[in-house]
Amino acid sequence: MPYHYTVKNRRYAFEDLKTLLAKATPFRTGDALAGLTAESYEERIAAQIALADVPLQTFLNDLVIPYETDEVSRLIVDSHDTEGFKKIAHFTVGDLRNWLLLEETDAAILQKMAFAFTPEMVAAVSKLMRNQDLIAVAQKCTVVTQFRNTIGLKGRLSTRLQPNHPTDDAKGIAASIIDGLLNGSGDAVIGINPATDSPAVVARLLHMLDGLIARFDMPTQSCVLAHVTTTLQLIEEKVPVDLVFQSIGGTEKTNSSFGVSLALLDEAYAAALSLKRGTIGNNVMYFETGQGSALSANAHESVDQQTCEARAYAVARKYAPHLVNSVVGFIGPEYLYDGKQIIRAALEDHFCGKLLGLPMGMDICYTNHAEADQDDMDNLLTLLGVAGCNFIMGVPGADDIMLNYQSTSFHDALYLRKVLNKKASPEFESWLLNQGIMDEKGRKLPIKEAHLLLNAV
């Protein structure tokens, strides 16, 4: 047994790296459901102590899923920055944790190191870190992306305006968009989850969004979160597509359960780039992820759900996305049971994504069968604001009437900007000022009945 630790007379042995990673993971129901979790509190900490001593070099040899059988593993190995890795090649996982927290390890260094880290390395180190550490290190990372505006700058907090409607009714969706815009939301993207994947419906919504953005000269981008094959078809049909969306996971099998492969994503990325619809930048992809998706697809390959999630980020970063969003509390209590587990998972995902160089946002959310409520979301919202999360969701009143779950409201974003002295993305902030929606302090202004946005539905 290569990995072991002895507590008094009890020797804990872990047969391989994936077992060690799973046993070292802070408890969550999804790993218990998969039968991967430590059997006692003692075993979990023994695993963490053993993990702290594992050299980072080991992660390049003991792959959690074999290179031969999984294209995500191949991507991770083949895209590893071996030159950059030399700086940390002598570290153990424990050393990496201590190094990340050093004053001298700053934003510029972390940015340079993004591809020297593998997902498994950052997942491993996150398991040894307290919530405070996850926040402190993530806050040092800056990941900036551009399409029609600039997302991720220090002191900024953006929102995805999510105006969903159970029957994709155009007026219903437009009403929610207007509500969001007049509350200062929508700079990350105006992104609709369609109730149906029908290409005709998706095309209609894309035309509607394109018209609205053009008419008001809005420095933002649109997205209808259809399957990538649907969006590809619509690109061919010359429907105005800004960002191309897809849900992705951290194993080849998870991705195939989503109906995608790296080859298909390559194709989608090339198609999206060819449109050249971004005015100031070319980050054209929008990905969503979430712990538990691999297990839910029966595709986790005995790897714990947080490590699977970090591996999904290797897929995401291949395509220089504009936005990556972990939909943390959506999956339900059999994966993340309560507010405590959701908060921990969100901080891990944000940390791992940022370290791997991704523009991480978070859907701070819960379902009605999870042990969580608005107070938990307020806690997580505030923590992620401090951690420097690029964007959050903006849902009218926090209640998504199509997907039937609770996320963050437009008001929540205003709260976070206020208490942490943050602003919308610079281009969008100017637009809000010009439209008379907000003042220079980010306060809502009274809207006159003649305002053109009120007549846009």
Partner 1 sequence: MNDSKLIKPDAWEFLKTHTDARIALGSVGTAMPLAEVLAFKMAHAHARDAVYSELNESALIDDLATFDLPIYTLQSQVNNRHTYLQRPDWGRKLSEASKKELAQAKGNADIAFIMADGLSATAINKHAFLLLKILIPLLQQAGFSIAPLSIVRQGRVAIGDDIGETLQAKCSVVLIGERPGLSSPDSMGAYLTYQPKVGLTDESRNCVSNIRSEGLSYQTAAEKIFYLIQESFRLQYSGVSLKDNTDSGLLT
Residues found near partner 1 in the complex (CB under 8 A) = 29, 32-33, 163-165, 169, 171-176, 178-179, 182, 196, 198, 200, 333-334, 337, 367-369, 373-374, 396-399, 401, 404-406, 409, 411, 414-415, 417-418, 444, 446-449, 451, 454, 457
Strands 405-406 and 244-247: what pairing? unpaired
Could you tell me if 402 and 163 are in contact, meaning their C-beta atoms sit under 8 angstroms apart?
A: no
Q: How far is the CB of 362 from partner 1 (least distance, A)?
A: 20
Ordered DSSP codes for 430-448? HHHHHTTSB-TTSPBPPPP
Could you tell me if 302 and 34 are in contact, meaning their C-beta atoms sit under 8 angstroms apart?
A: yes
The nearer residue to partner 1, 90 or 215, going by C-beta atoms, is 215
Q: How far is the CB of 36 from partner 1 (least distance, A)?
A: 14
Report residue 318 as tokens.
Answer: 């291949």
Partners of 12 in the β-ladder: 5
Partners of 90 in the β-ladder: none
The nearer residue to partner 1, 11 or 215, going by C-beta atoms, is 215
Which residue from 262, 266, 245, 242 is spatially nearest to 254, judged by alpha carbons?
262
The alpha carbon of 167 is separated from its chain's Cα centroid by a whole number of angstroms, namely: 27
Report residue 338 as tokens.
Answer: 């309560």
Q: How far is the CB of 240 from partner 1 (least distance, A)?
A: 21
Tracing tokens 């969706």 back to the chain, one arrives at 173
Q: How far is the CB of 367 from partner 1 (least distance, A)?
A: 6
The nearer residue to partner 1, 7 or 401, going by C-beta atoms, is 401
Q: How far is the CB of 255 from partner 1 (least distance, A)?
A: 18
The nearer residue to partner 1, 8 or 369, going by C-beta atoms, is 369
Q: How far apart are CA 305 and CA 160, in angstroms?
A: 25
Q: How far apart are CA 160 and CA 446, in angstroms?
A: 23
The nearer residue to partner 1, 180 or 278, going by C-beta atoms, is 180
The SS3 of residue 396 is helix
Q: How far is the CB of 257 from partner 1 (least distance, A)?
A: 11
Q: How far is the CB of 412 from partner 1 (least distance, A)?
A: 9
The nearer residue to partner 1, 169 or 266, going by C-beta atoms, is 169
The nearer residue to partner 1, 113 or 295, going by C-beta atoms, is 295
The nearer residue to partner 1, 32 or 264, going by C-beta atoms, is 32
Q: How far is the CB of 300 from partner 1 (least distance, A)?
A: 14
Q: Which residues contact 300 (CB under 8 A, 6 or more apart)?
A: 34, 251, 254, 294, 308
Tell me how many degrees the CA angle 260-294-250 measures, rounded to the nearest 5: 60
What count of other Cβ atoms lies within 10 Å of the Cβ of residue 442? 17
Partners of 325 in the β-ladder: 288, 361
What count of other Cβ atoms lies within 10 Å of the Cβ of residue 198? 13
Q: How far is the CB of 90 from partner 1 (least distance, A)?
A: 42
Q: How far apart are CA 391 and CA 185, in angstroms?
A: 10
Partners of 151 in the β-ladder: 145
The nearer residue to partner 1, 132 or 368, going by C-beta atoms, is 368
